[in-house]
Structure 1
Amino acid sequence: MSAAMVEQIRERLQQALAPSALEVLDEGYKHAGHANEGKGHFHVRIVSEAFAGQLSIKRHRLVYAALQGLMDNGIHALSIDAKAPGE
């Protein structure tokens, strides 16, 4: 399921934010023994023009909006590194 979820996250972010760089990492192995037994923990590194001039909170909201429906339905925890080009 993890590989499929990584691909779903990647597709949604590409469609919504047209990133120039995107990396989606399954970090479930770092959380073995935690809630959901380490399943559904992901890290996103994304660079998008959509983030230009936006505060970090707004950038995160844009990512969460793109992933609506996946949170608590495959994604248990998500860490985000969102930057504008040139940052």
Structure 2
Amino acid sequence: MLTRLGGGRTASLMSTQIPSPPMPSDDAVAQALARVRAALAELSPSVLELEDESHRHEGHGGHRPGQLTHLRVRIVAQAFLGQSRLARHRLVNGLLAEEIARGLHALSIEAKAPGE
């Protein structure tokens, strides 16, 4: 870019572009789901189903387009044998604490032991 200075002189100015923050995308959701799957793998589940329900909550509190904000988890694991429903939910919430800190706003959990 050339800028005119007094007396017919010109000066060359560098153009600097400031990068915009990355926009959330399907990749962000896929990465979040992969982190959730990895965290819950610690329980060695025989069944692990994850359903992103974020799109169902557009316009509601906590929803951020392109990000995992609402998740349904169905998990069956030996680790839940003899545990109360509350203890199971606490265990799952504890394993997902990092994802909750990243913006997971709502979590629906169905946690069962084999045979239930």
Pair 1:36-2:62 in alignment = yes
**1:81 offset after TM fit, Å?**
0.3
Structure 2 length-normalised TM = 0.69
1:52 maps to: 81
Structure 1 length-normalised TM = 0.91
**1:7-46 → structure 2 map (5 Å cutoff):** 7-14=34-41, 16-37=42-63, 39=67, 40-46=69-75
Q: Which runs of 5+ in 2 are unaligned?
A: 1-27
- Alignment length (residue pairs): 86
Greater per-residue helix proportion:
1
**1:3 offset after TM fit, Å?**
1.4
1:4 maps to: 31
**Deviation string, structure 1 residues 16-48 (Cα, Å, up to 9, x no partner):** 211011011100011111113354100100000
| Cα distance in 2 between the residues matched to 1:59 and 1:37 | 26
Pick the structure with greater CA Rg.
2
Identity fraction in percent = 47
**1:83 offset after TM fit, Å?**
0.3
Contact 1:6 1:24 in 2 (8 A): yes
2:92 maps to: 63
1:77 maps to: 106
Q: Which consecutive segments of 4 or more residues in structure 1 shift more than 2 A? A: 36-39
Q: Which runs of 5+ in 1 are unaligned?
A: none
